[in-house]
Chains A and B, each alone.
Chain A
Amino acid sequence: MTILKNASKKFHVSIIFAVLAAALMVLATLWQPKLLQSIINAIMKQESNKIMGIGFWLITIAVIGLIAGVINTIMSAKVAQGMAAEIREAAFRKIQTFSFGNIEQFSSGNLVVRLTNDINQIQNLIMILLQSLVRIPLLFIGSFILAMVTIPQLWWVIILLVIIIGCITFFSFGVMGKHFKKIQRLIDKVNELAKENLMGIRVVKSFVQEKRQTQGFANTSDQLMHENILVGNVFSMLMPLFMLVANMAIVVSIYFAGDLVRANPYVVGAITSFTNYLMQIMMALIIGGMMSMMASRAVVSLGRIKEIMDTNPMLKYPDKPIQKLDGAVEFDNVSFVYPDETKPTLKNISFQVNPGERIGIVGATGSGKTTLAQLIPRIFDATKGIVKVGGVNVQDVNETSLRNAVAYVLQRPILFSGTIADNLRQGKRDANETEMKRASDIAQASEFIDTREQGFAAPVEERSSNFSGGQKQRLSITRGVIGNPSVLILDDSTSALDAKSEKLVKEALDKKMNHTTTFIISEKISSVINADRILVLDKGKLVGFGTHQELLANNSIYQEIYQTQKGKQEKGDQ
């Protein structure tokens, strides 16, 4: 509810207008049968001058009701759209503050559904609330009282109608609520299957899995169909049933009016407006029921948005002035445990690196190389111990300073659809052509960027499908070096490059970025052999730190890795 309250701040005036218009609309609706009744009476008494007057009133009131209805709808739509936009923005802003851990906790697909589907539900709810929250109770109470006043002797017909319609609404919507949840889950599943299939279409095709995929999809789709038909059947019964009850109430009241006529002849004129009010009561109940059903769905959505808003980011950056950090990196007795895991991935790691050093990180798969590197740009916080960049604890610097100082080039290069320049400017927002050129020269990306007619303005398509694996990696490295960071981390970022390009990248880094501390993560010793010093990781522990020669001389794990890889290399060379 606080979410709705916060979002409604800008819309108080529109909300008041919407509510007033709704009230006016009800008054107009309720007054009309009364005027019709007087017209009928006037016709019976043959007072033609009166007929004109009442007729004029009838039209005026109908027009007022119409205008009020239009105002109500416009205002409600405006408020609903506006508030939904506010909520979506607030939720999106909140998600931007989330750390990796937070996003893993929700899963990114789930967050997307919350931002789209759930916010739409909330938008519908606001719309319905503004259109009906005032109108329906007023309409119900008003027509109930007026029906009672018109023919008081038939009070029991009104009560019976209310009870029967109320029961049907209650039971059918109760049943449907359950199936709606099931349908929502099945729709999610259908989307998930279609999405998975699209993402993995290459795998599906290369392993000839088309039939199997279709079969799996058909099963889920069939389930969805059966649920849809079930709910549809309830619906197809519902409206006729409501109409039957209301019509029977009319038949019954006309029938019993026959008994009343003897004592009260006026009943003949009153029966028309009475049946009119009966219909209004029924409409109010049905709309009220539907409203509460939709509201209950929207309340679930509201809860899901609240969950986002109430989540505290796991990482917080202190509010400090921007500072320039140099390339010194220090780990002081650092241990790290992933959220939801008990076994530490890194254990008591300590080392110091000077600005401008080339550091290799080697170790078997799962030894903690990437985890260690992720602690430097503070993608995660160390569970124990202190990580320092430029001599300052990373928890004591603001986000911008740290991002400017540390660039991280991921194992799997991810480019966004747009242009090459768009992607490079993620590394440095105001990068100009010269800076882009310099960076792409270092990453050996110029050779293929230059062949494109538009150069840096060349488009990057979705999933960067218009670039090869090696090109993607080189663009990713370009993005890393463009901001001239104090610390550059290359996480296996040259794996898709041929040996020659890899060598050229390394040489360019040495020559043109010699003030930058560079971490090179690799499983291949050959990739780090020229580094100033090499960190050797084994099962989360730091087991060696020194030059290639030193390690080769006295580190058994390094020797082991080197021997196995050397064997392979020689075999490959033959």
Chain B
Amino acid sequence: MQDFKTAVKFFYHYLKPYKLFFFLSVILVIFATAMQVIAPLYMGKAISELANYAIELNKGVNDKSKFVHVVTLLGIFFFLSTCATFSYNWLLNRVTGYATNKMRISLFAKLQTLPIRFFDTHSDGDILSRFTSDIDNITNAMNEAMGSIMANIILFFAIIFMMFKESVPMALVTMSTVPISLLLITYFIKKHVTMLIYNKPKLAN
């Protein structure tokens, strides 16, 4: 937990200058997710309207206007969702780029201030892998994770909300599988992390 606190502090320090960007992207993520949740509903609606239209056709009524209306809305939702996703990806990518660059340069600058003794007691490979492996990992994690973590958290709640709205018993059945997948996920992540720690020193050499 202590590690986690330090990590949060560390990232907060480097991300502070980009608060506004962050705020903007959170709004965009919420918007994009809303669109993502609404679109399938409208897809269902579009297919029902198609079925209705088919039934009406049999009765001799040829009125496509309702169906066309729903399909047009579906198209608009998809388009808006794309625009929002693109925008927050773009914003977060910039933030990641600037923040990790600052980390890399301050890491180098910090090395310059350390006493010689530090270099005699720490192996070169270990110090070097901080420049390569570690900064790369942070970049990748921030690039891939930030957007998707935000989006997935919001999506998670939005989908649960929609599921309960559609049908309570089916939502409950689906929810009952959540603990199982959570257990599986924790198990795999733990295993993955130990493997990474195990592999790291090998890479440095």
Contact residues of A with B, CB < 8 Å?
116, 187, 190-191, 194-195, 197-199, 201-202, 204-205, 210-211, 213-214, 217-218, 221-222, 224-226, 228-229, 232-233, 235-237, 239-241, 243-244, 247-248, 250-251, 254-255, 257-258, 261-262, 265, 267-268, 271-272, 275, 461-463, 465-466
Contact = CB atoms under 8 A, between A and B. Distances in A.
B47 A272 contact: yes
A236 B93 contact: yes
A210 B113 contact: yes
Interface in B18-58: 39, 43, 46-47, 50-51, 53-54, 57-58
B203 A255 contact: no
Interface in B81-123: 81-83, 85-86, 89-90, 92-94, 96-98, 100-101, 104-105, 108-109, 111-113, 116, 119-120, 123
B143 interface: yes
Interface stretch (B7-15, B127-135, B169-177): B127-135
A203 B127 CA distance: 18
A261 B128 contact: no
A251 B69 CA distance: 12
Given A241-B82, A244-B78, A257 B50 contact: yes
B96 A232 contact: yes
A214 B50 contact: no
Q: Which 3 A-B residue pairings sit nearest by Cβ, starting from the closest?
A: A236-B89, A232-B93, A210-B112
Contacts of B143: 232
Nearest to A465: B120
A555 to B, nearest CB: 47
14 contacts: A194-B128, A198-B119, A198-B127, A199-B124, A210-B109, A225-B101, A232-B96, A237-B86, A243-B82, A251-B74, A258-B53, A258-B71, A268-B47, A461-B120
A250 B86 contact: no
A41 to B, nearest CB: 13
A251 B75 contact: yes
Of A204, A233, A247, which is in contact with the most chain B CB atoms at under 10 Å from its CB?
A247
A331 to B, nearest CB: 40
Nearest to A234: B93
B139 to A, nearest CB: 7
Contact of B50 (A229, A236, A258): A258
B82 A198 contact: no
Contacts of A275: 43
Given A194-B127, A235-B89, A240-B82, 7 more contacts: A190-B132, A202-B116, A205-B116, A211-B112, A228-B97, A240-B89, A257-B50
B93 A229 contact: yes
A195 B108 contact: no
B86 A240 contact: yes
B14 to A, nearest CB: 13
Contact of B74 (A197, A204, A254, A465): A254
B119 to A, nearest CB: 5
A236 B90 contact: yes
Q: Interface on chain B toward A: helix, strand, loop, or mixed SS? A: helix
A469 to B, nearest CB: 15
> Chain A contact residues: over half helix, strand or loop, or mixed?
helix
Given A225-B98, A229-B93, A233-B93, A251 B51 contact: no
Given A236-B86, A244-B79, A261 B74 contact: no
Contacts of A201: 111, 116, 119
B200 interface: no
A254 B50 CA distance: 8
Contact of A261 (B46, B54, B83): B54
Contacts of B101: 221-222, 224-225
Contacts of A202: 116
Given A221-B105, A229-B94, A195 B116 contact: no
Contacts of A214: 105, 108-109, 112
Contact of A462 (B93, B111, B123, B139): B123
Interface string B57-69: 1100000100110
Contacts of B74: 251, 254
Contacts of A224: 101
A233 B64 CA distance: 41
A228 to B, nearest CB: 5
Contacts of A232: 93-94, 96-97, 143
A268 B78 CA distance: 21
B194 to A, nearest CB: 16
A261 B57 contact: yes
B108 A248 contact: no
Nearest to B78: A247
A462 B53 contact: no
Contacts of B139: 228
A258 B112 contact: no
Nearest to A268: B51
A312 B3 CA distance: 51
Contacts of B75: 248, 251
Contacts of A190: 104, 131-132
A241 B123 CA distance: 46
A466 B121 CA distance: 10
A214 B119 CA distance: 17
A70 B180 CA distance: 18
Contact of B43 (A198, A210, A250, A466): A250
B100 A265 contact: no
Contact of A248 (B58, B78, B111, B113): B78
A265 B57 CA distance: 10
Nearest to A261: B54
A66 to B, nearest CB: 12
A261 B53 contact: yes
Contacts of A271: 47, 50
Contacts of B113: 210
Given A244-B78, A258-B50, A235 B93 contact: yes
Contact of B67 (A241, A243, A258, A265): A258
A49 to B, nearest CB: 22
Contacts of A194: 108, 127-128, 131
B112 A221 contact: no
A243 B79 CA distance: 9
